[in-house]
Amino acid sequence: MSKLGNRADWADDEEFDDPSALPAQQVIANKDGTKTVISYRFNDDNKKVKVTRRIKTTVVREHVNPSVAERRKWEKFGNEKGHAAGPSFDTTSVGENIVFRPSVNWKAQAKEAEKDGGEKGSMKDQLKDKKVKCRICSGEHFTARCPFKDTMAPVEEGTAGAGAADVEEDKGGLGASGSSYVPPHMRKGGAGGGEKMGGRFEKDDLATLRVTNVSELAEEQELRDLFERFGRVTRVFLARDRETQRAKGFAFISYADRGDAALACEKVDGFGYRHLILRVEFAKRST
Amino acid sequence: MRPILLSGHERSLTQIKFNSDGDLLFSVSKDKIVCAWWSANGERLGTYNGHQGAVWTVDVSPNTTLLATGSADNTVRLWNVKSGECVKVWDFPTAVKRVQFSPDGSRLLAVTEKRMGFLGTIAVLDINYGENFNDQADEPSLRITCTESKATVAGWSFLSKYIIAGHEDGSVSQYDPKTGDQIENIQAHEFDHQINDLQFSPDRTSFITASKDKSAKLMSSRNLAILKTYTSDTPLNTASVTPKKEYVILGGGQAAMDVTTTSARQGKFEARFYHKIFEDEIGRVRGHFGPLNTIDVHPAGTAYASGGEDGYVRVHHFDKSYFDFMYEVEREQMRK
């Protein structure tokens, strides 16, 4: 604060001396005729806030009654006494723009506008035209609801699915043509079937992350929130201790898309979460 | 249009008023303060401090030198508009619910409440614009006592020829301001539905009433004939006739006691615009989150302001679409 001796020392810089002082207001004239006003003030939390305003000044000439012109010169009084000219922030503000178009049938128009606004918001309407397709039988239901869920594996590709079905019919069960029982894994398509069982997991595994060093206090929902920002998460599994119900320290996160999983793996690996540093890697096949 | 929000009051607004040139806007609320605002930019010119109770009503003299306010502290105060000083206090036995200057500004009427054994009255005070504003008569020059139903609102007709009052029972009456005799009384609104507001058209040959019975009526000052009826779906607190365009603006909403149990969407806290001649509703302006207590229109018809139970005054300057709107028949008339 003191400016003794007129020292040109950086330590005398006022900004350092008085942290409560606000930098002076800056006014910059722009090329297009507007002004940029940069001012500083303290907000409610006593933090310094920089306010940048771009002001375009247009001069509007108006012819008024002499008494009106005379009144414009009046001083402020009462609670406003001594305040600077111009509207003050605590009493005057500008509201949102209101579209007001008088019309004879405004009621119908208002209703229509409301309907338009409503449609955008609802997910249900957005997905109205989308069809649900089962991955097992290609029927119009969710895969989880498929009646063949237990008997058939998901259709990998069109050809594989059809082939498997054919084979199973041929060599199925106790073997219509063959003399002896052939265990499923020895059947011609059986190997595929077995693989497909694995394949079912493999497909998921491709997009499943194994997360270790998870805090004991972790919650599935928190993990879901954490990982959902990278893509659609289909499954979150958090291993818990059976007795204490506390997390065991690892979790699996399955993504719908492998690309999202790879991104999440890259980003969240080494991420600090609940005082521990997460380790994220692609889950290995549980063979 | 972008409304200007004036938040100088801490409690609900009771009345707002533009001056005759429309450059100033005066607002009063239940928080005892009277505010003066520049209508163009919403800057507060000042406040008139001194009332000890809720201020119910305000009016400004035609030459914008004196301001009258009536309050629940049983006084009418006269203020110097420019300096904010109180120049005169008239004491009444009960609260004052409405004041209005006569068209020439020489007289002021004050409607007093019926309470504590006192009947509701309309008092007429003579106003003196001399060198010294303090020099005012102490006693009213005329007192009209409402024996049947108390007056809630009142105003001066064209050339101060009649005093027109709206009553608690929904009737409208016409008085002679010289003798104080009642000339006519008409049950304009449904019985026992109070008239909450009465505002004159610019030439004061007709006036509009807003009532609790959810309707507003345009009536003739001369013979109290009902010219037009505007029906809405909510109790009305205020109504105003717009100059320049042939519209009326109505404001209302759920009663204050029911507000917390209804959402803002259902609350009907909107200013409703009706065509004055065709009686059709032509649009609404929303924004307040409480019922509208008072509306006033700029004398030039270029803006209107509304004050709500929410403590805000919103000043709306109309944009082009407001002035462009015309019925097909009006347009045809224009072409001829």
Q: Does B3 contact A88 at a Cβ distance shorter than 8 Å? A: no
Residue B288 has pLDDT above 50, yes or no: yes
CB contact under 8 A, B42 and A87: yes
Give B7-57 as a DSSP string.
---SS-EEEEEE-TTSSEEEEEETTS-EEEEETTT--EEEEE---SS-EEE
**Residue B314 and residue A95: Cβ atoms within 8 Å?**
yes
Sorting pLDDT into bands at 50, 70 and 90, what band is B253?
confident
**What is the token pair recorded at A278?**
């997460």
Strand (E) positions, B54-161? 55-60, 66-71, 75-80, 86-91, 96-101, 107-112, 121-126, 142-145, 151-156
What is the per-residue pLDDT across A65-119, written as a single tens digit (0 to 9) for each?
A: 888 888 888 888 888 888 887 788 888 888 888 888 888 877 777 777 666 654 4
Q: What average pLDDT does range B1-20 have in this prediction?
A: 91
The model's pLDDT over A164-188, given as tens digits with 9 standing for 90+, comes to 444 444 444 444 455 678 777 776 6
Chain B contact probe: residue of A70, A83, A100 with most B CBs at under 10 A:
A100
Q: A223 Cβ partners below 8 Å, 6+ apart?
A: A211, A214, A236, A238, A251, A253
A160 pLDDT more than 60: no
| Region B95-102 average pLDDT | 94
How far apart CA A189 and CA A169 sit, in angstroms, is 10
| A161 or B261: which leads in pLDDT | B261
Confidence bin at A193 (pLDDT 50/70/90): very low
Decide: B49 and B62 in contact? Cβ < 8 Å: no
- Asked if the Cβ–Cβ distance from A90 to B7 is below 8 Å, we say yes
Helix, strand, coil percent content, chain A, rounded in steps of 5:
35, 20, 50
How big is chain A by its Cα radius of gyration, in Å?
Answer: 35
Residue scoring higher pLDDT (A150 or A40):
A40
Closest-CA distance, B47 to chain A, in angstroms, reads: 5
Summarize the confidence of residues A4-19 as an average pLDDT: 56
For chain B, state the CA radius of gyration: 19
Structural domain containing residue B16: 3-335
Nearest Cα residue to B125 out of B183, B37, B59: B59
Contact B21 A101 (CB under 8 A): no
Q: Give me the pLDDT at residue A162, please.
A: 41
C-beta pairs of B121-128 under 8 Å, 24+ apart in sequence = B121/B145, B121/B146, B121/B151, B122/B146, B122/B151, B122/B154, B122/B163, B122/B165, B122/B175, B123/B92, B124/B163, B124/B177, B125/B76, B125/B90, B127/B61, B127/B66, B127/B78, B127/B101
Give residue A223's pLDDT: 86
Q: Are strands B292-297 and B303-308 parallel, antiparallel or unpaired?
A: antiparallel
pLDDT at B137: 87
Residue A199 near residue A156 (C-beta atoms within 8 A): yes
Q: Which residues contact A275 (CB under 8 A, 6 or more apart)?
A: A215
Mean pLDDT of chain B: 90
Asked if the Cβ–Cβ distance from B7 to A92 is below 8 Å, we say yes
Lowest mean pLDDT among A191-195, A219-223, B101-105: A191-195
Range A199-228 average pLDDT: 78
Helices (H) and strands (E) in chain A, counts: 8, 10
Indicate yes or no: CB of A98 within 8 angstroms of CB of B281. no
* Measured distance CA(B178)–CA(B195) in Å, rounded: 25
Reference A171, options A160, A153, A186, A156; nearest CA is A186
User: For residue A124, is pLDDT > 70?
Assistant: no
**Cα B96 from chain centroid (whole Å):** 14
Taking the Cβ of residue A132 and every Cβ of chain B, the question of whether any pair is shorter than 8 Å is answered with no
Q: What is the rounded distance in angstroms from the CA atom of residue B45 to the CA atom of residue A83?
A: 10
- Whether the predicted pLDDT of A50 surpasses 80: yes
- What pLDDT does B165 receive? 94
Angle, CA A45 vertex, CA A41 and CA A51 arms, to 5°:
30
Task: For residues B181 and B175, give the distance between their C-alpha atoms in angstroms, rounded to a whole number.
Answer: 6
Chain B residues within 8 A of A96 when measuring between CB atoms: 2, 287
Beta bridge partner(s), residue B185 = B173
Residue B99 confidence class, pLDDT cut points 50, 70, 90? very high
CA B326 – CA A210 distance, rounded (Å) = 69
Residue B158 pLDDT class (50, 70, 90 cuts)? very high
Look at residue B259 in the predicted model and tell me its pLDDT.
58
Instruction: Confirm or reject contact between A98 and chain B (CB < 8 A).
Output: yes
| Contact present, B77 and B55 (Cβ < 8 Å) | no
User: Mutate which of A57, A71, A83, A103 to disrupt the B interface (most B C-beta within 10 Å)?
Assistant: A71
Please name which of B55, B64, B47, B49 lies closest in space to residue B31, comparing C-alpha atoms.
B55
Taking CA atoms, A191 is separated from A51, A166, A185, A203, B178, in Å, by 70, 14, 5, 17, 113
Instruction: Please tell me the predicted confidence (pLDDT) of residue B89.
Output: 93
For residue A152, pLDDT beyond 80: no
What the block records as the tokens of A100 is 């007001």
The CATH number that applies at residue B82 is 2.130.10.10
Residues of A in contact with B327 (CB under 8 A): 104
Mean pLDDT is lowest, of A133-137, A261-265, B279-283, for A133-137
Residue A283: predicted pLDDT: 81
Interface of A with B in 228-287 (CB under 8 A): none
Q: Does the structure show a pLDDT above 90 at B314?
A: yes
Cβ distance A92 to B41 less than 8 Å, yes or no, reads yes
CB contact A64 to B (< 8 Å)? yes
The mean pLDDT value for B273-300 works out to 90
Per the prediction, chain A carries an average pLDDT of: 73
Comparing B195 with A37, the larger pLDDT belongs to B195
Number of domains, chain B: 1
Reply yes or no on whether the pLDDT at B10 is more than 70.
yes
Is the pLDDT confidence value at A261 over 60? yes
DSSP reduced 3-state for A87: coil
Domains assigned to chain A:
26-56 (no CATH), 205-282 (3.30.70.330)
Q: Which residue has the higher pLDDT, A165 or B293?
A: B293
Positive/negative CA dihedral, B322, B327, B332, B336: negative
How confident is residue B265, by pLDDT bands cut at 50, 70 and 90? low
Cα–Cα distance for residue pair B246/B331, rounded to 1 Å: 14
ipTM confidence score: 0.75
Q: Which residues of A touch B46 (CB under 8 A)?
A: 76-81
**Looking at residue B167, what is its pLDDT?**
93
Q: What global pTM score does this model have? A: 0.65
Please report the pLDDT score of residue B72 as a whole number: 93
- A-chain CB neighbours of B283 within 8 Å are 100-103, 106
What is the rounded CA–CA span in Å between residue A162 and residue B108? 96
Beta bridge partners, A132, equal none
The backbone region for A249, taken as left when phi is positive above 0, alpha when psi lies in -120 to 50, beta otherwise, is: left
Which of A76, A91, A100 has the CB atom closest to B6's CB atom? A91
Please tell me which of the candidates A92, A101, A104 has its beta carbon nearest to residue B280.
Answer: A104
Q: Is the per-residue pLDDT at A157 higher than 50? A: no
Alpha-carbon separation of residue B53 from A88, B16, B33, B116, B233 (angstroms): 26, 17, 9, 17, 33
Chain B positions in Cβ-Cβ contact with residue A88 (cut-off 8 Å): 43-44
**Is the minimum CB–CB distance between A96 and chain B shorter than 8 Å?**
yes
Longest dimension (CA), chain B: 62
Q: Chain B residue with minimal CA distance to A64?
A: B21
For residue A94, the chain B residue with the least C-alpha distance is B4
* Cα of B237 to nearest chain A Cα, Å: 22
Residue B232 neighbours by CB distance under 10 Å: 19
Q: Which residue has the higher pLDDT, B59 or A158?
A: B59
The total of other beta-carbon atoms located within 10 Å of residue B94's CB is 18
With a cut of 80, say whether residue A199 has pLDDT above it: no
Tokens of A271: 């991420």
Q: Which residues of chain B make contact with A93, given a CB cutoff of 8 A?
A: 4-5, 7
Residue A125 is predicted with a pLDDT of 55
Residue B133's pLDDT is 83
Cβ pairs A/B, distance under 8 A? 117
pLDDT band of residue B215 (cuts 50, 70, 90) is: very high
**Would you say B111 and B97 are in contact if contact means Cβ atoms under 8 Å apart?**
yes
Please tell me which of the candidates A81, A86, A110 has its beta carbon nearest to residue B43. A86
Q: Which residues, at least 6 apart from A196, have a Cβ–Cβ distance to it below 8 Å? A: A153, A156, A164
Name chain B contacts of A109, Cβ cutoff 8 Å.
none
